[in-house]
């Protein structure tokens, strides 16, 4: 998890892509249990619908989406729509702007510079897509960009395409990329979100991908259909057993005789302060989920 405290609004277990060209879908999103929403102006919107979609997303942002992060994925700045996407949607005050096709920290800095000239965007964060080979090779540099950057989002579909690779059930060909992305995010205190699972009907494969991503350390996963939200939320939430174990560890270190100890014996296990810190994060995540 990122270093900042978890709150109900900052949860990112399930991050749902919604096409910005579909007002009805965005309206429905207000009733869904996704932790965060990405209103998409890029891949999900045809070229001749880009302008209308931008206007619809700005209008939707004015209405709000409740206690959750709402993010707008703009078109690349180099595209004919990117500059207006950035300035107009940022002025509508989403929680973050998601940058596609990021290849270096300079891409993040360019957006940061532009946002500085949008008074309404003072609190708007930046999320960065890691979806090209170049981004993977410089993921640690991108994560170090600083400023408003708060989250990395893995774009596995684009990566597979750019690599000339294939989607495999175990994602074995992407394991290096998964690991490096999480490492870069953690070094720099960022949240990190896994890519999508394309086969909506493949519940078994989706469960596997969620469990795999959580095991790597991802905070959550991007999803493309409402049916994926509940299993995704469950996969990235601490289980009752994990919560109970965390409570025991925190309580044990809180005992007067243990307060100054770096390690203690608990139910036959050697438990260190680092385990207590992890347990506190688990309980904070559970509390944030309960607050939703």
pLDDT value at residue 10: 82
The verdict on 50 and 162 lying in the same domain is yes
Taking the C-alpha atoms of residue 17 and residue 37, their distance in angstroms, rounded to an integer, is 6
The verdict on 171 and 282 lying in the same domain is no
Taking the C-alpha atoms of residue 210 and residue 14, their distance in angstroms, rounded to an integer, is 10
The verdict on 55 and 119 lying in the same domain is yes
Q: Judge whether 1 lies within some domain.
A: no
Read off the tokens for 167. 């989607």
- Give the dihedral sign, CA 210/212/213/217: positive
pLDDT value at residue 66: 87
pTM above 0.85, yes or no: yes
Residue 244 has, within 13 A of its CA and on its CB side, a CA count of 3
Query: By residue range, what is the domain housing residue 78?
Result: 8-235
Taking the C-alpha atoms of residue 212 and residue 214, their distance in angstroms, rounded to an integer, is 5
The verdict on 178 and 54 lying in the same domain is yes
Instruction: Report angle CA 154, 156, 160 to the nearest 5 degrees.
Output: 145
The verdict on 145 and 257 lying in the same domain is no
The verdict on 216 and 245 lying in the same domain is no
The verdict on 40 and 93 lying in the same domain is yes
Residues of the chain with pLDDT under 70: 1-9
- Split into its structural domains, the chain has a count of 2
Q: Are 70 and 35 in contact (CB under 8 A)?
A: no
pLDDT value at residue 7: 66
Q: Token pair 């107009």 is at which residue?
A: 88
Q: Is residue 8 exposed (0-12), middle (13-18) or buried (19+ Cβ within 10 Å)?
A: middle
Count of positions (residues) in the chain: 292
Taking the C-alpha atoms of residue 46 and residue 53, their distance in angstroms, rounded to an integer, is 9
The verdict on 201 and 276 lying in the same domain is no
Q: Judge whether 2 lies within some domain.
A: no
- Give the dihedral sign, CA 94/100/102/107: negative
pLDDT value at residue 2: 46
- Give the dihedral sign, CA 218/219/221/222: negative
The verdict on 177 and 220 lying in the same domain is yes
pLDDT value at residue 4: 58
């Amino acid at each position: 998890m990122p270093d900042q405290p978890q709150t109900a609004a900052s949860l990112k277990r399930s991050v749902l892509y919604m096409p910005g060209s579909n007002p009805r879908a965005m309206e429905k999103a207000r009733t869904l249990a996704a932790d965060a929403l990405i209103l998409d102006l890029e891949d999900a919107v045809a070229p001749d619908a880009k302008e209308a979609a931008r206007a619809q997303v700005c209008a939707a942002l004015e209405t709000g989406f409740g206690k959750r992060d709402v993010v707008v994925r703009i078109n690349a700045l180099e595209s004919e729509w990117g500059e207006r996407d950035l300035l107009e949607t940022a002025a509508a005050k989403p929680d973050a702007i998601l940058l596609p096709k990021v290849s270096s920290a300079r891409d993040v800095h360019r957006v940061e510079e532009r946002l500085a000239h949008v008074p309404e965007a003072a609190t708007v964060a930046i999320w960065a897509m890691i979806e090209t080979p170049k981004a993977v090779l410089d993921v640690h540099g991108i994560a170090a960009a600083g400023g408003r950057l708060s989250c990395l989002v893995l774009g596995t579909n684009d990566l597979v395409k750019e690599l000339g690779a294939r989607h495999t059930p175990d994602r074995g060909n992407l394991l290096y990329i998964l690991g490096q992305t999480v490492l870069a995010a953690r070094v720099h205190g960022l949240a990190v979100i896994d890519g999508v699972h394309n086969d909506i009907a493949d519940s078994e494969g989706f469960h596997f991908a969620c469990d795999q991503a959580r095991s790597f350390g991802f905070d959550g996963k991007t999803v493309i259909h409402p049916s994926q939200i509940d299993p995704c939320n469950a996969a990235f939430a601490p289980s009752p057993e994990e919560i109970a174990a965390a409570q025991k560890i925190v309580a044990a270190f809180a005992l007067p005789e243990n307060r100054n100890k770096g390690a203690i014996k608990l139910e036959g296990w050697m438990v260190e302060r680092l385990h207590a810190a992890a347990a506190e994060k688990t309980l904070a995540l559970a509390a944030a989920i309960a607050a939703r």
